[in-house]
A and B are shown apart, each in its own frame.
Chain A
Amino acid sequence: MHFALTDDQRAIRDSVQAFLQEAAGLDRLRSTIEADAGWDAELWHNLAVDMGYAGLMVPEAYGGIGGGAVDMALVLEETGARLAMAPFFETAVLGVQTILGAGTEAQKRSLLPGLADGSTKATLALTGPQGRPAPDGVTAWLRAEEGAWRLSGESCFVPFAHVADLLLVAARAPLSAGPRGISLLALPRDATGLRVERQPGLDPTRPLCRLTFDTVAVAPDQILGRAEEAGPVLERILATAAGLLAAEQTGGAAFCLATTVEYAQQRVQFGRKIASFQAVKHELADMMVAVEAARSAALYAAAAIDTDTDLLEACSAAKSWCSDAYRHCAGETIQLHGGIGFTWEHHAHLYFKRAWSSSAWLGDPAHHRERVARLMGLDDIP
């Protein structure tokens, strides 16, 4: 019932909004995309180090701010709105949640402070080339050879791995399936036998990489928690991540709506603003319904993460709804801009591509609806 934002939460949202409006304009995004580095190092530094938000969800004992998922959702809505091209979600959500969820106390103490202060950029490698959701899709292999752990195989669709310092890798035991036999590893990017190559991605604002593991030696302290037992904890990590990605998607959808409203108020055809045509107004109204529902869904998921009630259902609900909402809004943004919206120069396609890439990532809408179907008891005996 306590659903109003606190003053602190408003302050977080306002600070990120003000900063990104100033620092993360579309022109700058464009030049980052066209440069070779594949990320905006300065933006990362501002957001993660100066403002300290990489450590927003890291407990204070490990050098972070100790905030909750609702706080993070507010930040992600803004980074999503600006397509902030930095491994922020990857580090502050995927990295932090994986180590918090799976790591031992010693691993949390050694790894989290670096993530919290922005000195370590992290990402999470999950699935093989077919891209099936984890845990089924985990295809990197971890096996013990003469008393030592060795990692082989590959992981694909790993965002920002080309700039990450710490690679968190899901791997499975030989002959294992489903959630059984899963291990989570924390490897430095320069580990011997580990190769990172960028994949030519549809979405230029979230670069994807392929990792190949040529019998990489894994030390026991590089295995988060216990080997081959991370399956259950991975489910929860990924649900949390999906629930928070929904906030990023909401930000993107809201930006699409706002810029399309602005355009429709300027563009004149038949001697009137196109915003005065009911066909246009009604589409924009439907976009707003989708965006506001997305915002509710994302906040619902964040609150569920913070209170640990209905976490799996809330996060799946949010990821499926917000994926659909973002895809719809980004698509209609192209449609309502007409020809200009189909050009390379216009920003519409960047949002459209992000909408589809984030929809497919961490479980697509149908995947999450199927999980909701199971959670709502459709398989129970009547």
Chain B
Amino acid sequence: MDDTPELERFRAEAAIWLESQLAGPFRDIRGLNNHVDLIERRRDWEQCLGAAGWSCVGWPAAYGGRDASIAQQVVFAEEYARARAPARIGHIGVELAGPTLLAFGTPAQKKRFLPDIAAGRAIWCQGYSEPNAGSDLANVRTKARRDGERYIIDGQKIWTSMGQIADWCFVLCRTEPGSVGNKGLSFLLVNMHQPGVTVRPIRQMTGESEFSEVFFDGALAEVRDLVGAEGDGWRVAMGLLGFERGVSTLAQQMQFRNELDALIELAKENGKAADPLIRQRLAQAQIGLRIMRFNALRLLANAESGQLSPEGYTYKLYWSTWHRNLGELVMDVAGPAAEIGETAERFPPLTTMFLMSRADTIYAGTNQIQRNIIAERALGLPREARGP
């Protein structure tokens, strides 16, 4: 599990560059891990990453990446988190839209969109969920009808991360009138800067707004911005879900590591580290995080050798549950101090983490949906009956 000398050089190069930027021009946003503060500075950061070739390291160099191996991608993700670099506001483009285009896009689409994502010039958002299409994603009702070389889109999306600031949105919409379920859907790339698009932020239980509702009212998309064939949107959308558990999971784990380390420090400072029950729970959190890392390494090792990986199905349920438990442990360790904020909307980072963790078991497939997926796809049990 040690780095090869080559990988060690790569790690050192990444670490030195990150430190030079984050101790220097980007000092002010170091350690920011929400997606709402100092957005203009965050854009600068995305562009700085892009200019230095550190934005999308695993992508082909032709599109602004550096053809990094999976091992190198893991190393960069680790160094990124270790350096306490700010959370990526470009993550939807970098982790979801980009990989989808790499897998399903035409050469022209790749050329048109990928360099802007890698350069940090275009921020993306994801147009999947709707008021009546949450867990039942295939119940999408947003419609797109073709009019010459354009599609005209009407409908509403919800829980759209980065919707407020995004330049582009990938929209799952119904192109075949009268179709139901996962048939007749298409995957369209839509420019957010146009009169037919309205964005309304949603205030969440943390007091912040990271999600939005997005309304399409005669919004336009070009036919050349359809990914996959018309009516083939479900396949593209499902392919994308696979990208949600790639290398980025290891970056996420480094974030978890930072949170757990902060919690351990707090427990030592306030004396809770001597409480035998708290010790057991802190140890369980530590053990759970170590295992999460090895789950991910098994997943990536198998991905690299092209094998199906059953543990991949369990990944989301595992980490969301771990993180929710960590949130509860935070409150038990911190005690009443966790309940006092700077303002009624701004609480200590660990308190915010506790509140945010209640979303983890809901988005990208609730824990209940995850259990269905594991049962049906990994264990081969009968599928759920659908309503009439």
Contacts and interface: CB of A to CB of B under 8 A. Distances in A.
Contacts of A366: 280
Contact of B287 (A1, A299, A321, A381): A321
B371 A370 contact: no
B381 interface: yes
B291 A293 contact: yes
A317 B287 contact: yes
Report the interface size class on chain B: 35 or more
A288 B1 contact: no
Interface in A286-301: 286, 288-289, 292-293, 295-297, 299-300
Nearest to B368: A282
B311 A284 contact: no
Interface in B332-388: 368, 370-372, 374-376, 378-382, 384
B264 A378 contact: yes
Given A285-B379, A378-B264, A292 B311 contact: yes
Given A289-B314, A382-B269, A300 B379 contact: no
Nearest to B270: A382
A316 B264 CA distance: 19
A307 B313 CA distance: 29
A2 B301 contact: yes
A192 interface: no
Most buried by A among B276, B282, B298: B298
A273 B382 contact: yes
B301 A4 contact: yes
A373 B285 CA distance: 10
A40 B368 CA distance: 44
B97 interface: no
A285 B1 contact: no
A289 B318 contact: yes
Given A278-B372, A285-B379, A3 B301 contact: yes
Given A281-B372, A282-B371, A289-B314, A261 B283 contact: no
B286 interface: yes
A26 B97 CA distance: 51
A108 interface: no
B368 A370 contact: no
B13 interface: no
B264 A296 contact: no
B382 A299 contact: no
B291 A370 contact: no
Most buried by A among B268, B274, B368: B268
Interface string A153-165: 0000000000000
A285 B283 contact: no
B280 A370 contact: yes
Contacts of A276: 381-382
Nearest to A307: B1
Interface in A224-277: 261, 264-265, 273, 275-276
Contact of A292 (B274, B295, B381): B295
B341 to A, nearest CB: 24
A2 B3 CA distance: 9
Given A2-B301, A3-B297, A284 B381 contact: yes
B283 A370 contact: yes
A289 B317 contact: yes
Nearest to B296: A296
Interface string A76-116: 00000000000000000000000000000000000000000
Interface stretch (B15-23, B192-200, B302-310): B302-310
A382 B288 CA distance: 23
A380 interface: yes
Contacts of B371: 281-282, 285-286
Contact of B282 (A264, A281, A299, A376): A376
A278 B297 CA distance: 30
B1 A4 contact: no
Contacts of B14: none
Contact of B273 (A4, A288, A297, A378): A378
B265 interface: yes
Contacts of B304: 4
Given A278-B384, A289-B317, A289-B318, A378 B282 contact: yes
B258 interface: no
Contact of A1 (B74, B268, B273, B276): B74
A369 interface: yes
A21 interface: no
Contact of B267 (A1, A3, A296, A378): A378
Given A261-B379, A281-B381, A382-B265, A288 B374 contact: yes
Which A-B residue pairs are the 6 nearest by beta carbons?
Answer: A281-B375, A285-B374, A4-B301, A296-B294, A369-B283, A382-B268
20 contacts: A1-B71, A1-B74, A3-B297, A4-B302, A261-B381, A275-B381, A281-B379, A282-B368, A282-B375, A288-B314, A293-B291, A300-B294, A313-B290, A317-B287, A320-B283, A320-B284, A372-B286, A376-B286, A377-B268, A378-B273
